[in-house]
Structure 1
Amino acid sequence: MAVIPIDLAGRSYQVRTGSGLLKELPDQCGALLRKKAVPVITDTNVAEYWRGAVETTLAEAGFEPHWHIVDAGEASKSWSVLEELVDWLLAEEVERGDHIIALGGGVIGDLTGFAAAILKRGCGFIQVPTTLLAQVDSSVGGKTAINTRAGKNLVGAFHQPGLVLADLDTLGTLPIREMRAGYAEVIKYGILGNRAFFDWCEENGAKVVAGDRAAQEYAVCRSVEAKAAIVAEDERETKGARALLNLGHTFGHALEAETGFSDRLLHGEAVALGMVLAARYSARKRLISDTDAQRVSAAIGAAGLATEISALGLDCNGTKLAAHMLHDKKMDAGTLPFILLNSIGEAFLDRDVSMEDIAAFMEEQLEKGV
């Protein structure tokens, strides 16, 4: 088991990565589980595979899991599902010193974390991520949120977990599409800040997606270490460093909005295509070479992820996609900064981007590959 500390002022915690952690859940959580009743939030898909294992390990240790199961999918990050969850937690008499378990992918982590942030002005929660995307990204760093009509993750809070347990065994139940979507967040760390890790991903990305456990452990640990360093430097995204983690997200969220935040386009798939677009736009601005932009596209495409907007079959124009971006959380004084590349392994925040140029660029990309 690898242990990676997230060092924050007064709120440090650990990310533990390895196989068999669900079987050790009570021991791993220790004093964080202070009552016999343990609230566990999950979704219908995860419950099918892992509810039995969690029931058994908690019961054998003298605990009694109380389950709240929501529908799988991005639609559960909503006001109505949040309200139901908070009402259930209040009925369960959860106290501020208690810890709720979030068992699932990014949707469950975001939803549960936000509920924990607002319940009685803040109670504890434990992240038990079961997808590759959640293990390398959304479970670490304390960002929690739900979606609204205006856009993705626009209502939320920074609320750090008490512990993150990333059991690699849970990756064995994921469909190949989910693995590919999670891998997008792995290679992101190489593209934005570590050329050597990008090189490793070029050589080993297929192994990660295919289920090679050693490659998965290396990928998860290196990704979490990279995010831990950035979160420790800029926990609440006020200094610019943490914003780099949004590489591909501004472009990607626009595509998610156009597809209705649905399973038509998974978050990781959107981020992957968004990183290709960020690299191409960086080349358009002559920040990187066309060769480097093509290398980013090839590395992402090699994992089985789409690299052309035309693959989505959208019925819109570049202006509409650019308009979606104006709901981005990074909007500041009416301007939208973009995460672009000075090179592979060196991302930066560009605050001087013309939205008219973005619209024209997106129009070109819509036509590409048609």
Structure 2
Amino acid sequence: MMRPTHAPADHPAIKPAKTGILIANLGTPDGYDYWSMRRYLNEFLSDRRVIDIARWKWQPLLQGIILTTRPFSSGKNYKLIWNNEANESPLMTITKSQTQMLAERAHQEWGDQVMVDFCMRYGNPSTHDVLDRMVKAGCRRIVFLPLYPQYAGPTSATANDQLFRALMEQTWQPSVRTVDPYVDRPDYIKALADSVRRALGDTVPAKLVASYHGMPKRYLMQGDPYHCQCQKTSRLLREELGWPEGIIDTTFQSVFGREEWLRPYTVEHVAELARQGHTDIAVISPAFSSDCIETLEEINGEIKEAFEEAGGHGFTYIPCLNDDPAHIEVMMNIVRENIAGWVRD
């Protein structure tokens, strides 16, 4: 703590200025018990970016039947993948590791000029609490990196929304740079391709299913670029692998509600592939920066079962990039570009 030069003796002390690097992920319940799941689902499903139905229609349904029953089924699924040793979800474990590795790299390059931390859009640690901690630690500038390669309103935009809401509560707001989606970055595409090569070796599968998180189709019609960016990632991945057209299929998972979502649906598509005779396939999830309930339980559980029940027998799930050094290098490169002018080399 220091008193500003030429300030009077009673001026409050101020932390030396530094630059914050704040990475953001989707979030996780604190536990898989009913009340932890209910709190998490209530926050998640009350987000108007996620469910944009009029509140007077949606909230009675949410607070009634949905939050009465869904915490039980969701809790059972989380229990299947829970990191019991650390008593946290895999997404939390991985995000902590990503943050630690990124912090080590950042401090090697910029020393005490930077502070690295992470927050969750839903659940803990909240965006509000982490931003407040960084500001109190002296962060006058912050690079905000939502860990979503492809932009979407219900992911990237709501993470930014929450950051801006948190900024509204700060007396002395830091300057902020929000990071662009990195859908087509060569280093990200190469990291994806290398993860495929590690999993499959020199084998070119009959089909590699690139399964992205779904969203209602009308979001696309309203101008959300997510669908197009997913298609671009799949195309660039195929080109980086040097595979011919037709090998990678782009699909969408995690359908919720009755309206039509982006198609094809992963669970239906893999079953159809099995019925067509593609009994050995691989699945990758390029939209997820960390393995989580949607990959570890949905893809490697429900979707795998649908494939096998339709006659498939060879199902390879390719893990997310997680805390792979190549992924940390992608994150570091993004930070390096966005922190330019804010730190001394």
Same fold (TM over 0.5): no
Scaled by the length of structure 1, the TM-score of the pair is 0.23
The structure whose RCO (Cα within 8 Å, separation 6+) is larger is: 2
Q: Which has the larger radius of gyration?
A: 2
